[in-house]
Structure 1
Amino acid sequence: MLESMTGYASLKGEGQGHSWTWDLRSVNAKGLDLRLRVPDWIEGLEPAVRGALSKGMARGSVNLSLRINRDDETGALAVNAAQLEAVLSALQAVEERAMDKGISLAPSKASDLLSQRGVMEQAVEETDSKALLAAITAQLPELIASFKQMRATEGQALEAVLADQLEQVSDLTQQAAEAAEARREEAAETLRANLARVLENADGLDESRLAQELAVLAVKSDVMEELDRLRAHVQAAKDLLAQGSPVGRKLDFLMQEFNREANTLCSKAQSVDLTRIGLDLKAVIDQMREQVQNVE
């Protein structure tokens, strides 16, 4: 089954006094480009996430973000002893300086001290980062599975479109073969008539040179080789679709080969019908190439 490089998944979790939210999305790219935004205070988190994503996909520009919140942000308050000591030392210095100047200060209250910035703070328990890492990374398989399911759904739609376009190429190739066969007798008759006129008006003509020129003309007008290769490319593309992802790179290369044969067919056409079919082929192949850009 094909997978698209376009996908999205989100997931929420909680544990170890924390809650978190995953956001995973991707678009098409030539290779695998992983861009992660995860907290750096959890040791080993980024390598674990990067490794899991690398195993789960082969191509795409992938962006993942993880937001973590602590559940006890409204916990009990505690005195910051160091900050209190700094405030008391400052207060003592102020009082001594005031006494030297003969200035009497009102007595300080405990509430005045506690209101100073940094004296009171939340009592936060030390986080067990290893346990939190285990809880978070345990969700990775579920997140990646949901993400790949969306890519697979998109891939099914892509596969159906590509299969239909391959059938169009196959039908146009058959039409080109029929047009080339119908043109064959007319081209041969025209060539015979032109050759007769040349022979009538050319004394001492080098017959071997004439034979070589005729052979070159025949090769330049013969499109059967291009049609055979187009048929082979159609079968190769169908085999790749049946194989399933990752085949995007191979399909992309095959689109170049399709386009090369269609261009050659147009250059050799020498008839309105064959030229029209060649242009129709080029249009369908270009549409296929656009779809293939999103196949993993």
Structure 2
Amino acid sequence: MPHSMTAFSRQTRDADWGSLQLELRSVNQRYLEPHFRLPDTLRDLEPHFRDAMRQRLARGKVECSLRFDPAEDSAAPGINADQLAALSQALEQIRAQLPEAPMPNALELLAHPGVMATQRLDIDQVKAAGLALFDAALEDLDAGRAREGERLAELIRERLSGIREQVATVREHLPTILERQRTQLLERLESAKTELDPQRLEAEMVMLAHKADVAEELDRLETHVTEVERQLKQKGPIGRRLDFLMQELNREANTLSSKAVVADTTRCAVELKVLIEQMREQIQNIE
């Protein structure tokens, strides 16, 4: 099943420590080209993200954006009870030794080093949540690329059917085309009042028939169409192979056009080029 290179995923996570929002955007690119925008506190997650992306995706420009909003109380001050108890015990000893010594008030006690404690954010929990969030986003992105790839494959199959129809049309009219060429040649000779001996006339007809014989081009067109259909059933990246096949199809269509000596063949060749170009545009988005 082909995968598109165009997809989007957004995942969020809310917890006591705050919230995380992760976005993945993927567009077509010749190679895998990841870009990361991470907060400084979570910057060391990038190697893990990069490795996971390489294992799952083969092509595409992928932008990863991670936003972290810590909870308002994550840095709220608290009291170090152990430090305060030790300080109180020390003050009792001072009061016993120096009854007249002034005792500090509550604000002064809070100002003593170590009494006030800031609640520290458990950054390891945040990183673990970030990794899980990225895995979920990558899974969702890959599923979206698969769905879009299947839609592209259907569009390509429709064009392949169109190519088969055009090839069948040319094959059906090929005897008529050759006979029409013979009639046109005789009419030109008649109008020019030119007489040719039968052998010379036969040689001219053989040369003209050889020039107009497009059976080989039609065979190759059908062969390439069959190969494209086979590639669409393969697993893994197929975009580059399909792009190569589009070049081969276009080459045969150009040859068919150059050999066209009647309007019917020319119209079929033009329609082939249109169908091939439509497929090529879609294939630019296939991984």
Q: What's the secondary structure of 1:139's corresponding residue? A: helix
Deviations, residues 76-102 of structure 1 (Å, cap 9, x unaligned): 3489xxxxxxxxxxxxxxxxxxxxxxx
Q: What's the secondary structure of 1:231's corresponding residue? A: helix
Partner letter of residue 182 of structure 1?
A: T
Match of 1:177 among 171, 180, 198: 171
Partner letter of residue 270 of structure 2?
A: L
Q: What's the secondary structure of 2:42's corresponding residue? A: coil
**C-alpha distance in 1 between matches for 2:117 and 2:61:** 41
Consecutive unaligned residues of structure 2, counting only runs of 5 or more, are 80-106, 108-115
**C-alpha distance in 1 between matches for 2:261 and 2:272:** 16
Q: What's 2:102 paired with?
A: none
What's the CA shift for 1:214? Answer: 7.3
CA contact (8 A) 1:15 1:132 kept: no
CA contact (8 A) 1:74 1:122 kept: no
**C-alpha distance in 1 between matches for 2:68 and 2:40:** 11
Q: What's 2:150 paired with?
A: 156
What's the CA shift for 1:41? Answer: 3.1
Is 1:32 the counterpart of 2:26? The answer is no
What's the CA shift for 1:186? Answer: 3.4
**C-alpha distance in 2 between matches for 1:225 and 1:250:** 22
Q: What's 2:222 paired with?
A: 231
Is 1:45 the counterpart of 2:45? The answer is yes
Backbone CA RMSD of aligned residues = 3.2
Q: What's the secondary structure of 2:175's corresponding residue? A: helix
CA contact (8 A) 2:22 2:134 kept: no
Q: What's the secondary structure of 1:233's corresponding residue? A: helix
Cα distance change on mapping 1:195 and 1:247 into 2, 3 Å: same
Q: What's 2:135 paired with?
A: 141
Q: What's the secondary structure of 1:11's corresponding residue? A: strand
Q: What's 1:99 paired with?
A: none
CA contact (8 A) 1:18 1:70 kept: yes
Partner letter of residue 22 of structure 2?
A: W
**C-alpha distance in 2 between matches for 1:171 and 1:6:** 31
Count of equivalent residues: 249
Q: What's the secondary structure of 1:185's corresponding residue? A: helix
Q: What aligned pairs does 1:53-202 form with structure 2 within 5 A after superposition?
A: 53-73=53-73, 75-77=75-77, 123-125=118-120, 127-129=122-124, 131-188=125-182, 199-200=196-197
Identity across the alignment (%):
37
Cα distance change on mapping 1:132 and 1:77 into 2, 3 Å: closer
Deviations, residues 175-223 of structure 1 (Å, cap 9, x unaligned): 112222321233356668889956449xxx9x9xx96x87765443221
CA contact (8 A) 1:75 1:122 kept: no
Q: What's 2:113 paired with?
A: none
Deviations, residues 263-289 of structure 1 (Å, cap 9, x unaligned): 110110101111111111111111111
CA contact (8 A) 2:178 2:212 kept: no
Partner letter of residue 167 of structure 1?
A: S
What's the CA shift for 1:14? Answer: 4.2
What's the CA shift for 1:57? Answer: 1.1
Deviations, residues 5-45 of structure 1 (Å, cap 9, x unaligned): 11011111245824211101111112211111112433631
**C-alpha distance in 2 between matches for 1:16 and 1:181:** 80
CA contact (8 A) 1:16 1:132 kept: no
Query: What's the TM-score, normalizing by structure 2?
Result: 0.75
Partner letter of residue 19 of structure 2?
A: S
**C-alpha distance in 1 between matches for 2:171 and 2:117:** 82
CA contact (8 A) 2:217 2:252 kept: yes
Q: What's 2:13 paired with?
A: 13
Q: What's 2:273 paired with?
A: 282
Q: What's the secondary structure of 1:138's corresponding residue? A: helix
Partner letter of residue 60 of structure 2?
A: G
Cα distance change on mapping 1:141 and 1:74 into 2, 3 Å: closer
Partner letter of residue 249 of structure 1?
A: R
**C-alpha distance in 2 between matches for 1:223 and 1:34:** 47
Partner letter of residue 186 of structure 1?
A: R
Cα distance change on mapping 1:15 and 1:48 into 2, 3 Å: farther
Cα distance change on mapping 1:122 and 1:265 into 2, 3 Å: farther
Match of 2:213 among 203, 222, 226: 222
Q: What aligned pairs does 1:237-276 form with structure 2 within 5 A after superposition?
A: 237-276=228-267
